[in-house]
Amino acid sequence: MKRVLIFIIGMFLLIILSIGSYKKLDSSHYQSVLLYDFNNGTDLFNLESKFDDNFPTLTATALPIKYLKARYYLEIDSIATAKKLLYKSIEENRYIGAPQAFLANLFLAEKEIDSALYYSKEAFNLLSNNNRHRDIYFRTLKEINDSISLDSAFSKIKNINNEDHWYNYILTRNDINKKPNQNLLNLFDEMRIAFPLADTLKMNSIKRFIELGSTRYTSALAYSELAKIEFEKNNYSDAVKFYEISISLDDKQYVFFENAAISYDNLKNYSKAGEYFNKVIYDFKISDGKSEFYKGLMLIKNNNLNNGCEYLEKSAVKNYVGGVSGLRAVNVYRQLCKS
């Protein structure tokens, strides 16, 4: 009798293990699709697929399966269902913070600020060095103009090797301030030390955005775009007019001077073109060789071969290649100056 009982118990356990193994195997196929969609922003998963998301409840990366499924319900406007899945996801793994961040996004979109703050703060505190968690928490703090909590949050992540934390903080703090702030501008000097390989153009652009304010900065860019449109239609006079407005709004953007110089060159206003080319070359000290290239061609066109070739040679040394034309400065230099 004892042996029979042991046999029955053994068979029962074997059946349970077999069912568990089958469910894991079946789930692994669906998990791979869910994770692929999650990582690539695609929608290959079919919500009509039947598999048990109660066993297992987590993927190999510890993400709750219900969390991964929730995003699909937003596509069909089933927000209530998405929230239910997210609440269950928190119960299944409340330490990863991803479901909380997702919920916070939903609540912020609905202007349920108290709930957005609760879940975004929890997500941020659980996993601070996560761009999504930081982003939703900072956006929620901006909504309530809470600069104190924002400063505190930034101090927590400032020394992590992630420059996105700095940019997100600076732009959010600037939105709360609603006017230029010297302390924020000083942070860029710290950034240059902390991130010596950071994109200088991006850093300078954001710094200039802070210095000028959003209205003036975006107006300068808008006029620059108008100038570009006119230039492409060969309306160089109008292009110059719009570039000059951009320069009057923001005289720290070298590209405004460079494009204006090329426009002046096309208008045969070589004096003004030379002035602006020199500003880019000697004041801004831009290293791509574009202004040297165009100034060299302008000088050669005006029968100043020696000086023109000097600038083409400088451009060739900097390996300038025309973005649209594909012309290589070194080839033009050899053709015009070494033939």
Q: 1 pLDDT band (50/70/90 cuts)?
A: low
Average pLDDT, the chain: 86
CB atoms within 10 A of CB 39: 9
* Statement: residue 304 has pLDDT above 50: yes
Please give the distance of CA 205 from its chain centroid, rounded to a whole number: 14
26-53 mean pLDDT: 59
Residue 103 belongs to some domain of the structure = no
d(CA 303, CA 315): 19
Q: Are 305 and 333 in contact (CB under 8 A)?
A: no
For residue 62 the two structure tokens come to 């510890």
Q: What is the pLDDT of residues 66-124, one digit of tens each?
A: 888 888 888 777 889 989 989 999 998 888 999 999 999 999 999 999 999 999 999 99
Residue 51 belongs to some domain of the structure = no
Residue 115 belongs to some domain of the structure = no
Residue 237 belongs to some domain of the structure = yes
Q: What is the pLDDT of residues 313-336, one digit of tens each?
A: 999 999 999 887 888 999 999 999
pLDDT of residue 16: 42
pLDDT above 90 coverage of the chain, percent? 68
Q: 214 pLDDT band (50/70/90 cuts)?
A: confident
Residue 225 belongs to some domain of the structure = yes
Closest among 297, 253, 298 to 279, alpha carbons compared: 253
Closest among 220, 229, 230, 298 to 255, alpha carbons compared: 220
- Which residues form the domain of 277? 216-337
Closest among 246, 244, 328 to 290, alpha carbons compared: 328
Residue 71 belongs to some domain of the structure = no
* Statement: residue 35 has pLDDT above 60: no
**What is the DSSP code (8-state) at residue 323?**
T
The total number of structural domains in the chain stands at 1
Q: DSSP letter string over 79-130?
A: HHHHHHHHHHHHHH-TTS-HHHHHHHHHHHHTT-HHHHHHHHHHHHHH-SS-
Residue 220 belongs to some domain of the structure = yes
pLDDT of residue 11: 45
Q: Are 120 and 132 in contact (CB under 8 A)?
A: no
pLDDT of residue 10: 44
pLDDT of residue 73: 82
Q: How far apart, in Å, are the Cα atoms of 321 and each of 15, 299, 306, 309, 331?
A: 69, 19, 22, 16, 10
Identify the weakest region by mean pLDDT among 36-50, 54-68, 126-140, 323-337: 36-50
Q: 21 pLDDT band (50/70/90 cuts)?
A: very low
Residue 255 belongs to some domain of the structure = yes
Of residues 26 and 338, which shows the higher confidence score? 338
For residue 327 the two structure tokens come to 């012309």
Q: 288 pLDDT band (50/70/90 cuts)?
A: very high
CATH, residue 292: 1.25.40.10
pLDDT of residue 44: 60
